[in-house]
A and B are shown apart, each in its own frame.
Chain A
Amino acid sequence: MTWLFLPILIAAAVAAFLGGRALARRRSSGLRAHSRPGQHGALALIWTAAPALAVLLAAAVFAPGLEQQLMASGAPEAVQELEPFRRQAFYADAGAVGAGRPAAQIWPAPYAELLPAEGRRAARIDLMLSLGGWVAALLAAALGALYVFSRIRPDLRARNRVEGWIVGALFACSAVAVLTTIGIVASLVFDSTRFFASVPITEFLFGTQWSPQTAIRADQVGSTGAFGALPLFAGTFLIMLIAMTVAAPVGLFSAIYLSEYAGPAFRATVKPVLEILAGVPTVVYGFFAALTVGPAMRGFFNGVGALLAGGPLDPVGQYLMLVQNQMALVAGGVMGIMLIPFVSSLSDDIINAVPQSLRDGSYAMGATKSETVSRVLLPAALPGVAGAMLLAMSRAIGETMIVTMAAGLAARLTLNPLDTVTTVTVQIVTLLTGDQEFDSPKTLAAFGLGLTLFVVTLLLNIIAQRIVITYRQQYD
């Protein structure tokens, strides 16, 4: 209902624009005004709308807290005696009932009777607060309009002021990017410090035992759990290594072929195909890994194991027969496929940036194309290619869905690609998708892992970008 105020506000802003324009026309008739009437109108519009929006924003931020306080201060005793978590749920349901929606749960005797009355009270408080917010917003709009209308004069530099507002708004847009980074760092650091208060950072970084599942309840035996993340780092590293073993040669060679050998028609067909491969969502790769590649690989290794078992290589055969779907090789291999287009397009750019004169010089000396590529182009492009590989590694480390769906949960310190390993991202997802209270060390551990992941990928990215930029400047 209170949304009826929005058209009023819009109408007021439009009226301010028209009024400001008319006023500017009247006051500057026959004079040489600094700004066009429309620019005066725009200034009036800004001064009417901006204060109102600021008030509405403040109301939106503070209203929920205020509403909670008002609800709590007048609540019946029975409700106040509820434990905090249940009380919150009761208020939420009261709000729902007040708004005419059904309650989320069925309440026992005293609360069921209280619910309608509390619902009406919640609706009243809600109405009061939103009405108050809108009235304050309209008031602010009126004050702003009053101020600006008193200032409209032929010599008012309305255009410069309007443009100042616009540039300010644009700056605010780009500040959001910085705020995002601050938000990421702040949230990760804040929750991580709470985690490191209960688990020492050295134990987290160098401990070899990872079993957060035991830390569910405080009164359990071994309730502290084990938060040694080294096996996770090892698993992440192993999968990244496998992925790069697939993606680096395939991506690099396809980039070389596309930039040095392929004709325009071939390029025009293959490049979009690679772009499609790059556009496939990672959850699709995860599905492919879990239901196609995993069972196929397992079947293959189990078959080889059955052949070897009983022969001279019996232990190997016995081992291969027990290989699981969730081996590191599956997740790593599919991740490698996912990275091929990424490596290929970055390397393509970098090889193309090598000046043509280097190629021409090499051909003039009688070198073949492959000799030119391997002895001239690649050495010249080496830093750039290295940067591209670092970027791909950072991608592989941060990739989540493929490993969540196709890698295992067993934290194991191993470099055997046929073992199941788990990664940092898998553990973050596992720790945060259960139903437990937010403040347990278990959920906070996810933020510790997130911070580690963020720092490592950030370092890789910064190094890679430095290398690529220096490389580009070398040939500019």
Chain B
Amino acid sequence: MTEATQTDGARVNRLRAGLKRRYAREQRFRAYGLLAIAVAVGFLLLLLGRIVEQGHTAFYSHAMTAPVYMDPPRIDRAYPQGTNFEQLVAEQQLRRLGIVDDAQGTKASAMRGLFSSELKFIAAERIARQPGLVGQTVTLSAPLSDDADLYLKGEISKDTPAEQRRLSDEQIAWIDRMDAGGQIAARFNTGLFTRGDSTEPELAGVLGAVIGSALMLLVTALIAIPLGVGAAVYLEEFAPRNRLTDLIEVNINNLAAVPSIIYGLLGLALFINWMHLPRASPLVGGLVLALMALPTIIIATRSSLKAVPPSIREAALAMGASKTQTVFQHTLPLAMPGVMTGAIISMAHALGETAPLLLIGMVSFVPGLPHSLVEPTGALPSLVYIWENASERAFHERTAAAILVLLAFMIVMNAAAIVLRRRFERRW
């Protein structure tokens, strides 16, 4: 009896100790799970935070406003574009700062390096519009060069040794003096949204790439959505159960998992080398993305067709509707919210796809805005890649800004899909 209680007590103690250990393990396990989620969420925040941090400065830029005396002997009224306005402005700025140039004009050329080449076009355009301004003093406002802009944004520091930065001590001193004189102001960088790509970072914008991406998505949507919905309707509603159907199904599942770069190779071989469609055009890009988006759209459409209860089909058939009428007048309309949600999500995915675009030639610099489906164009994701590879540091902030624009478009599309799903989805 006493022996039994003793062993019982020992057992209880052992069990208690074991229980403690087990609960501790339980807590640890739970903590691992939370930690894993924290890691994932933390990385997302870090990723977005870093991009906003790097990109927000691209949304404003610095411009210089200065009175410029339009020196008559140096300006050809008939052809103002030929005038070296940058030199003219640089000399006058030097004089204003009370600096005497040397014989080689090195100071003027250093000063010229602070202005964007856009200055020339702004001045020439003013003169072309009003030739009477020659001989008068005109107030001109033009963007600063990318390096001067970076210095004012604090990206280039005075503390770095002079040989390691792209601005000399002298230039920095001038910028500071012009800034103190109220000649320099920061303003919203509208050019980022209204211009195409450019080799000069301060003149480069995303609009060309946005239009290119939009044209491409248009082609993708026009091809992939009808084909995808048609294929899904066939497989889900009409296809007989046979080996051909099985083959198509296995095929579609595997196509959805083929790496995107393989689609790029297909596009290169099929559309460019074989069909001779123009390289880097939105047409080819759209076709490649359409082939890529097709399996996803088919899978999404099939699952929303599956969600429509059979009773709907049976009721329609019982009323004498044909198979086709049942599908197009009852099943498909009821599945439509799900179909559209899937289509929008796959379009958003296609918008961010980069690798296939690189292979069909969208890696080269395309200035200006696209105006047709068959000319070389840029696209937002390939612009990100091109800018990331650019050597000028000012392109880094613009890359991050282009990413923010890309993410904004994707968020809008995904939000539209979510709203669509919330408003129209039916639970049977």
Contacts and interface: CB of A to CB of B under 8 A. Distances in A.
Nearest to A61: B275
A454 B266 CA distance: 11
Interface string B12-50: 000000000011011011101111110111011001001
Interface string B87-131: 000000000000000000000000000000000000000000000
Contacts, number: 250
Contact of A281 (B268, B324, B354): B354
B251 A181 contact: yes
B354 A432 contact: no
B30 to A, nearest CB: 6
B308 interface: no
A309 to B, nearest CB: 24
B37 A254 contact: yes
A191 B269 contact: yes
A139 B270 CA distance: 31
A277 B43 contact: yes
B400 interface: yes
A422 interface: no
A253 B266 CA distance: 38
A256 B352 CA distance: 30
B148 interface: no
A180 B26 contact: no
A287 B384 contact: yes
Interface in A272-299: 273-274, 276-277, 279-288, 290-292
Given A180-B255, A370-B25, A401-B354, A286 B388 contact: yes
A170 B238 contact: yes
A454 B338 CA distance: 31
Contact of B381 (A273, A283, A404, A433): A283
A188 B40 CA distance: 37
A398 B33 contact: no
Contacts of A465: 253-254
B33 A261 contact: yes
Given A249-B36, A274-B40, A454-B262, A177 B298 contact: yes
Nearest to A159: B322
A257 B30 contact: yes
A3 interface: no
B44 A277 contact: yes
Interface string A391-427: 1001101111100110000000000000000000100
Nearest to A438: B273
B62 interface: no
Interface string A80-123: 00000000000000000000000000000000000000000000
B156 interface: no
Interface string B368-379: 000000000000
A284 B235 contact: no
A404 B354 CA distance: 11
B41 A273 contact: yes
Contacts of A249: 36
Interface stretch (A49-57, A204-212, A445-453): A445-453
A184 B414 contact: no
Given A284-B47, A405-B385, A461-B254, A370 B322 contact: no
A66 interface: no
Given A279-B348, A283-B385, A270 B37 contact: yes
A368 interface: yes
Contacts of A374: 29
- Chain A interface size, as a band, is 35 or more
Interface string B155-180: 00000000000000000000000000
B384 A283 contact: yes
A340 interface: yes
B388 A291 contact: yes
A474 interface: no
B238 A173 contact: no
A43 interface: no
Given A284-B403, A291-B54, A370-B29, A453 B261 contact: yes
Contacts of B32: 253
B238 A167 contact: yes
Contacts of A251: 36
B355 A429 contact: yes
Interface in A285-343: 285-288, 290-292, 337, 340-341
A274 B362 CA distance: 30
B40 A454 contact: no
B9 interface: no
B355 A401 contact: yes
A309 B254 CA distance: 51
Nearest to B399: A287
A254 B40 CA distance: 8
Nearest to B42: A337
Given A170-B234, A287-B388, A277 B40 contact: yes
B375 to A, nearest CB: 10
Contact of B349 (A191, A279, A405): A279
Nearest to A190: B269
Of residues A170, A175, A344, which shows the largest number of chain B Cβ atoms within 10 Å of its Cβ?
A170
Contacts of B318: none
Contacts of B33: 253-254, 256-257, 260-261
Contacts of A280: 44, 47, 352, 407
Nearest to B53: A292
A340 B40 contact: yes
B264 to A, nearest CB: 8
A184 B230 contact: no
B252 interface: yes
Nearest to A272: B418
B254 A281 contact: no
Of residues A176, A190, A340, which shows the largest number of chain B Cβ atoms within 10 Å of its Cβ?
A176
Interface of B: 22-23, 25-26, 28-30, 32-37, 39-41, 43-44, 47, 50-51, 54, 226-235, 238-239, 247-248, 251-255, 257-263, 265-266, 268-270, 273-274, 276, 291, 294-295, 298, 322-324, 348-349, 351-355, 358-359, 363, 381, 384-385, 388, 396, 399-400, 403, 406-407, 410, 414
7 contacts: A167-B238, A191-B269, A253-B32, A337-B43, A400-B260, A401-B355, A405-B385
- Can you list the 5 inter-chain pairs with the closest CB atoms, starting with the nearest? A398-B259, A257-B33, A281-B352, A173-B230, A187-B269
Given A173-B229, A181-B255, A279-B410, 17 more contacts: A169-B230, A171-B238, A173-B226, A174-B239, A174-B248, A180-B255, A180-B294, A257-B34, A260-B33, A281-B351, A284-B352, A337-B40, A370-B29, A394-B259, A432-B268, A457-B257, A462-B254
